[in-house]
Structure 1
Amino acid sequence: MRKGVTLTIVLSVIAFTSIGMWGDILKAGPALRSFSWYLIPLIAFFGFCNDLVKFFRWHVYLQKMGIRIPAKKSLDIFLAGLSMSATPGKAGLLIKSRMLKGISGHSMISTSPIIAAELYMDLIGLSLISLLGIGLLGNEIWVALLLCMLPLLGLVPGIAGFAIGLLEKIPILSGRAIEMRKALDSMFGLFGVKVLVVSLTITLIAWTSEGVALSLILRGLGFDVGIVTTTVLFGFSTLIGVLSMLPGGLVVTDASLMGLLVHTGIPNTPAAVASIMARVFTLWLAVIIGSIFLVIHRNDVSKDLQGEQHIGK
């Protein structure tokens, strides 16, 4: 975990430094002085609304798995899990399974498919958003199409099973492949038609809220960019970041977002400011709020750890 935190810090510094140099952030003074700061509460609300909306998807998955816990406890676990949003591959989100075990008694193995389903549904949502606005991506349309289609192909059980079957034939990966097959089977068990439609609707609404936040940021900087456009730009850059498997998509998402903003006609410096602000009020706001909830509910994690140590004895 310490290595993951160190990597996240290093990549954060690289991301902000790179964006700052590319956008000549030293010239950002006039843009910031003229920024419509009264929009900040709205930006923060819509930036975090992405995660608030996704809570309902999390709770739907819990109900589908037959895990009955009070909505307040469910929300506490979900929010605490946001503290791990910037861990490599979001593997730290498994802390939700650990906390869930301490409260409901369900093993981490039985609840980890919920985490996988959340992440995969995000990929599906981001892919669909990117496909809907793929015309905005210019000459990179075919690269964009390929990136968007990869996660969608995984929705077909036969294709996903075939890919895992190939991995099982590789000795060094066979153990992981078996675990992936079990998780995949459990995850597809969640995706009944009703649950799929509900969770996909929630996912699309959630990611659209980040597009609203970006649109407000650009408006504050003096640029009128529609919500559809900002949702596609933010969604596609986030998709690239997720596929990179870097913590929080750091560097990749940041650079992609700035590049796409410049591509739409936003000058470098305002694009850099908008990219940094967008990430602060989405990813980092979620991490901060999640960390607060994790500290408040740290006993739910420590009790589970003590239980495992007791069993080990």
Structure 2
Amino acid sequence: MDSTQSLPGWHTRAVVGSMLLAATGYLGFALWSGWQEVLAAIGKVGVLGVAAALSLSLANYGLRFIRWQAYLRAMDHPVPWRPSLKIYIAGFALTTTPGKAGEALRGVLLKRLGTPYPTSLAAFLSERLSDLLAVVVLTLFGLTVYPMSQPMVAVGAAGVVAAFLVLSSQGLLQRLHGAVTGTARIASLLRDGLQVLLQARRCHTPALLAGATGLSLVAWAAEAWAFHLILQWMGLDVPLGFAVFVYAISMLAGALSFMPGGLGGAEFAMVTLLAWQGIPGPDAIAATVLIRLTTLWFAVGIGVPVLSCSLDK
């Protein structure tokens, strides 16, 4: 696959298509909720408050980048931090694809630097698994407070356990990889998928798993804290533990929905839980829109220009 020729296609189909769809849907949600409430919330939070929320989002991205570099090193394909950081940020442009699958575009850009596709895809898969594990752990802050969320958390936890069981079965993966023969496209895809899983195993040694999990927990807790601060600055009395729970369960709901960027699922969960806590509907919607603008859409906003520059090279 010629990466230099494949990038424009990715740009047209993935970036433009997914972003327009997601942005249109989000604009509709914001207009439906009422821009007056959102603007009022921004006014209460203030410039410094918005800057603080954006800074915590940057901390999230930075910690996840450190984890990304650790995964690449573990698979014997380290990349200098400057070009790797540009590629990592460029991937945020495709955060609004279902399950964030578009972030796998980083593999196309890394191929220019000699990183094989199985390696970059294994790093991407490991990232998603690490994020899921961290979010599931953070939901424990309020699981007893809101028992109705327990089935969703159980599904997320079961997914984590199943993934680790698969990755721990090196012998089985190797036997399956050797057993898949033939030149048919389905056989080739199976071999490639098994090769990615075999590579991903190297990202989940005990030491690296502990370090990556710690980075993931702090990264997602930073954005959850930003959510708590926004609620506080809006004058809404929500305990820190419950705010962390609401943010984490909303991210889990968005991930399980497989909607672009978790759109719809995450927002519905946030608004519902805040309303359950007694927050007035307009305030709950405004806080939800504001935190998503300073997290999800901030990532997209910094990713698009970096990706555009990468495509022009």
TM-score range, shorter chain: 0.7 to 0.9
1:29/1:77 CA distance change after superposition, 3 Å: closer
Q: Which amino acid aligns with 1:221?
A: M
Which residue among 111, 130, 147 is the counterpart of 2:139? Answer: 130
Task: Give how far 1:13 is off.
Answer: 3.3
Task: Give how far 1:241 is off.
Answer: 0.9
Q: Match for residue 111 of structure 2? A: 101
Range with bigger deviation, 198-207 or 252-261? 252-261
CA contact (8 A) 1:31 1:270 kept: no
1:282/1:180 CA distance change after superposition, 3 Å: same
Q: Match for residue 68 of structure 2? A: 58
CA contact (8 A) 2:168 2:201 kept: no
Task: Give how far 1:137 is off.
Answer: 2.4
1:230/1:178 CA distance change after superposition, 3 Å: farther
Range with bigger deviation, 216-225 or 8-17? 8-17
Range with bigger deviation, 124-133 or 196-205? 124-133
Share of identical aligned residues, percent?
23
Q: Which amino acid aligns with 2:99?
A: G
1:98/1:235 CA distance change after superposition, 3 Å: same
1:3/1:35 CA distance change after superposition, 3 Å: same
Task: Give how far 1:67 is off.
Answer: 1.7
Kindly provide the CA deviation profile for residues 254-303 of structure 1, in whole angstroms up to 9, marking residues without a partner as x.
1111112112221111100011011100011011111122233334xx5x
Q: Which amino acid aligns with 2:143?
A: I
CA contact (8 A) 1:82 1:290 kept: yes
1:176/1:108 CA distance change after superposition, 3 Å: closer
1:110/1:62 CA distance change after superposition, 3 Å: closer
1:15/1:259 CA distance change after superposition, 3 Å: farther
Q: Aligned partners of 2:282 and 2:244: how far apart in 1?
A: 21
Q: Please list every run of 5 or more consecutive structure 1 residues that lacks an aligned counterpart in the other structure.
A: 303-313
Task: Give how far 1:109 is off.
Answer: 2.7
Q: Which amino acid aligns with 2:278?
A: G
SS at match of 1:249: coil
Task: Give how far 1:139 is off.
Answer: 2.9
Kindly provide the CA deviation profile for residues 38-74 of structure 1, in whole angstroms up to 9, marking residues without a partner as x.
3111011112321121111011111111123322222
CA contact (8 A) 2:261 2:296 kept: yes
Instruction: Give the TM-score taking structure 1 as reference length.
Output: 0.82
1:146 aligns with 2:142: no
1:135/1:42 CA distance change after superposition, 3 Å: same
Q: Match for residue 156 of structure 1? A: 165
Task: Give how far 1:117 is off.
Answer: 0.8
CA contact (8 A) 2:167 2:200 kept: no
1:42/1:159 CA distance change after superposition, 3 Å: same
CA contact (8 A) 2:97 2:260 kept: yes
Q: Match for residue 201 of structure 2? A: 188
Q: Aligned partners of 2:34 and 2:296: how far apart in 1?
A: 21
1:287/1:19 CA distance change after superposition, 3 Å: closer
Task: Give how far 1:219 is off.
Answer: 1.4
Q: Aligned partners of 2:284 and 2:27: how far apart in 1?
A: 13
Q: Aligned partners of 1:201 and 1:137: how far apart in 2?
A: 25
Matching of residues 1-313 of structure 1 within 5 Å: 1=10, 2=12, 4=14, 5-18=16-29, 21=32, 24-25=33-34, 28=37, 31-32=40-41, 35-37=44-46, 38-103=48-113, 105-157=114-166, 177-299=190-312
Kindly provide the CA deviation profile for residues 228-270 of structure 1, in whole angstroms up to 9, marking residues without a partner as x.
3222211111111112221101111111111121122211111
SS at match of 1:119: helix
Instruction: Give the TM-score taking structure 2 as reference length.
Output: 0.82
Q: May I ask how many residue pairs the two structures share in their alignment? A: 292
Q: Please list every run of 5 or more consecutive structure 2 residues that lacks an aligned counterpart in the other structure.
A: 1-9
SS at match of 2:144: helix
Task: Give how far 1:148 is off.
Answer: 3.4
